[in-house]
Each structure stands twice: as structure tokens, then as C-alpha cells.
Amino acid sequence: MNLQIIDFENLMDGAVRAGATDVHITVGKVPRLRVDRKLVMGACHNIMERDTVLGVIEYVLSQLKGEEAAKRRAAWDSKKDVDCAFTYKSMVRVRVNIFRTEKGESIAFRIMQPRRFSVTEIGIPFPAVEFCNAKGGFFLVSGAAGSGKTTTLAALIDVINKTRTAHILTVEDPVEYIFEDNLSIISQREVGVHVDSFYSALRSSLRENPDVVVVGELRDLETTRIAIEMAETGHLVFATLHSRGAVSSIDRLVGQFPAGEQNQIRQMISESLLGILSQRLFAKKGGGLVAAFELLCATPAVRNLIREQKYGQICSTIQTGADYGMVTMESSIARLIQLGKISADSMNKDW
């Protein structure tokens, strides 16, 4: 093993021990870690020479196998960005984006900590967990980039896997957490490796007899359309969306479609939606991060407000909907402060 890779492994080992979520490597810069949402120096304080960064890129590509390795290498050689994931030292899943900048080649690593958190450890509201028992419908996990949506989705998949005999089909870009079959069987498909796109994966999934479909991200109109249609036809669909709240998530879903289709889409969402879980991360006292949640449950009143495009009134419904299991972001944050998990100062900075 050459010195470049030894330095890289020391950096990654230190990042895992520190509980870092991200590692950033760029030509001409000292590597940085993101710990508790702050960028800090890692174990390696050396400026990264171009040969070193290229060596790390080669190391990452060498961890891929078969057709995936060939596709990712061809993409990089043709000057395209590369998204991939691999298992580091047989213990940690790492999502990687390799890209070029004015300064030179760069790599962003997202570290999935070795042990997945349970729904209890994450603090997911119990009514949201109950949706794992639904036979069909559409459940959305929303939040800003880096807010822990993938971790929450993985915890919900674990619940289904441990409690139901179901076929769970996931479509991801890339595959992040690896699941082992328990009561359920789980088929994980990676965009760009096993299938060309989210849309084509969902279209073909209709012939693959899934009970539960997990969409890593609703990126475009056609993916969103077929995900909603699958929920309407009796599948339980989980998906994530980059959005900062339950109401804005509905607006964003509908807004993907041309004006002439929006009434129909609102009708479809109102009939198939189970709920929307929106989350934000806050710095935890003593180190680490903790999530606060907003939960919208699709009651008859909420469905009617969606159909009539009265999104503003949905906020009031969440505030008065505790009896239906709904949770406001404000009440979730207040509870974290009351439990001593976060400080009011931390809340003000992260809010």
C-alpha cells in the first residue's frame, strides 16, 4: 500500500472515530471534516497534492465492481462528475461525489456510521412509524440537504423488514445503507448501475411484485407522477424530497407539473397521501446532532385542503392536530430543549 492511501485511510479512520458526516478533499487544500455541522481539520494536516488526490480517486474507483466500476470510470474519463458508494474496510458505507473545480479535482465523502439508528434513537414520532403498517399510500420524508432524510428512511425500512412479510424495492442513487432480509425480502437497485433512471426503475417495478417501494429522491416530474400512481394502485411508497416543511413539500410536488395538470395531481395526492415527515438537525449538548420533526397526517380535513389548494390552512391544522398524531416543528424543538438535548442558543443558530 502506498503512502497516499495510508494517509487517506488515516484521515477516514479519524473521521469515523470523530463521528464526522462528511470529508472534503481538494487539490491544494488541507482536508476538512464536517463534525456536528462544522468544518474542522482532520488527522491529515498536509496540503493535498494533485497526485495524492488522483491516487484517492483511483482508490475509490477500485472499490467498485463489475459493470458499476466500468460505468463510473468511463464517466470520470469523459469529464463527468461521478456519484458512487462503497463499503470502507468492511464496516462503513461511504457515499462519494468526485468532481472537478477551478482548483483541481475534488472529492466529497458522506459517511454512514457503522450502526444504523433505530426509530426510537432518532426520535421519529410514533404516528409516523405506524404508517409502516399501511398496505398502500404515499409517505414523504422531507428536509434540507444533510438533514438526515436517508437515515430516517433507513430506520423506517428496518421497521418494515422486522415486522412484515413484504417485498421491499428500493431505488437509490447511489445505494447507501445495505439491508439484509429479515421477515421481508429487500431488492436494492442503483440508478446508473442496475437501471438507467428513477423513472425507468419505477416503471419496471410494476412487474416486480413489490409491496413497498422506496424512492431515494423525487427528482423530476415523471418520477413523482409514477410514484403517486403506484401509491394509488395499492403500493406503499416512501420517498424523500428536498423541502423545508410539510406544506412547502406539497406545494413543491404539485409545482413540478404544468398548470393544466395541477388540479389532477392535487386530487391524486389528496387521495393517496398518508403523511409528510419534515425534519431539521440541531447541535446536541455534549456533541452530536439531534433531529426535530414536523409531522402532517392526511386526515379528511387535510385531504380536502389539498384538493382546494388551501395550503396556508394546513399549518393551522397541524397546530391543532395533536389528537391525530400531528406534530409541529416548534413543539418538537421545545421538547428537545425541555429534555436538555439542545440549548435555546443552539436552536436560534440552527433555526
Supply the CATH number for residue 172's domain. 3.40.50.300
Same structural domain, 31 and 127: no
- pLDDT of amino acid 339: 93
Q: In this structure, are residues 110 and 22 in contact, taking their beta carbons and an 8 Å threshold?
A: yes
Burial class (CB in 10 A: 0-12, 13-18, 19+), 219: middle
Residue that finishes a domain, picked among 112, 139, 154: 112
- In the structure grid, which three cell numbers stand for residue 86, read together? 462503497
Sequence-separated (6 or more) residues with CB below 8 Å from residue 18: 33, 35, 42
Q: In this structure, are residues 27 and 106 in contact, taking their beta carbons and an 8 Å threshold?
A: yes
Same structural domain, 159 and 221: yes
Neighbours of 206 (CB within 10 A): 14
- pLDDT of amino acid 350: 59
Same structural domain, 141 and 215: yes
> For every one of its 351 residues, what pLDDT tens digit does the chain have, with 9 covering 90 and above?
455 677 888 899 999 989 899 999 999 999 999 998 889 987 777 889 999 999 999 999 999 988 889 989 999 999 999 999 999 988 899 999 999 999 899 999 999 877 889 999 999 999 999 999 999 999 999 999 889 999 999 999 999 999 999 999 999 988 889 999 999 999 999 988 888 888 888 888 888 999 999 998 898 899 999 999 999 999 999 999 999 899 999 999 999 999 999 999 999 999 999 999 999 999 898 888 999 999 999 999 999 999 999 998 999 999 999 999 999 999 999 999 999 999 887 666 655
Neighbours of 233 (CB within 10 A): 11
For 255-283, give one letter per residue: b (16+ CB within 10 A) or e. ebbeeeeeeebbebbbbbbbbbbbbbbbb
CA atoms of 226 and 270, how far apart (whole Å) = 15
Same structural domain, 143 and 191: yes
- In the structure grid, which three cell numbers stand for residue 244, read together? 423545508
Supply the CATH number for residue 35's domain. 3.30.450.90
Same structural domain, 100 and 185: no
Sequence-separated (6 or more) residues with CB below 8 Å from residue 21: 34, 35, 37, 110, 111, 146
Q: Which domain holds residue 342?
A: 119-350
Residue that finishes a domain, picked among 47, 77, 112: 112
- Report if pTM > 0.95: no
In this structure, what DSSP letter does residue 48 have? -
- pLDDT of amino acid 351: 52
Same structural domain, 159 and 37: no
Same structural domain, 106 and 132: no
Same structural domain, 84 and 125: no
- pLDDT of amino acid 84: 93
The H or E element that residue 111 is part of is strand 104-112
Number of folded domains that form the chain: 2
- pLDDT of amino acid 146: 86
Same structural domain, 262 and 185: yes
Q: At what angle do helices 50-62 and 66-77 cross, to 10 degrees?
A: 150
- pLDDT of amino acid 297: 97
Same structural domain, 70 and 159: no
Residue that finishes a domain, picked among 73, 91, 112: 112
Same structural domain, 257 and 290: yes
- pLDDT of amino acid 126: 96
- pLDDT of amino acid 113: 78
Same structural domain, 96 and 181: no
Q: In this structure, are residues 57 and 77 in contact, taking their beta carbons and an 8 Å threshold?
A: no
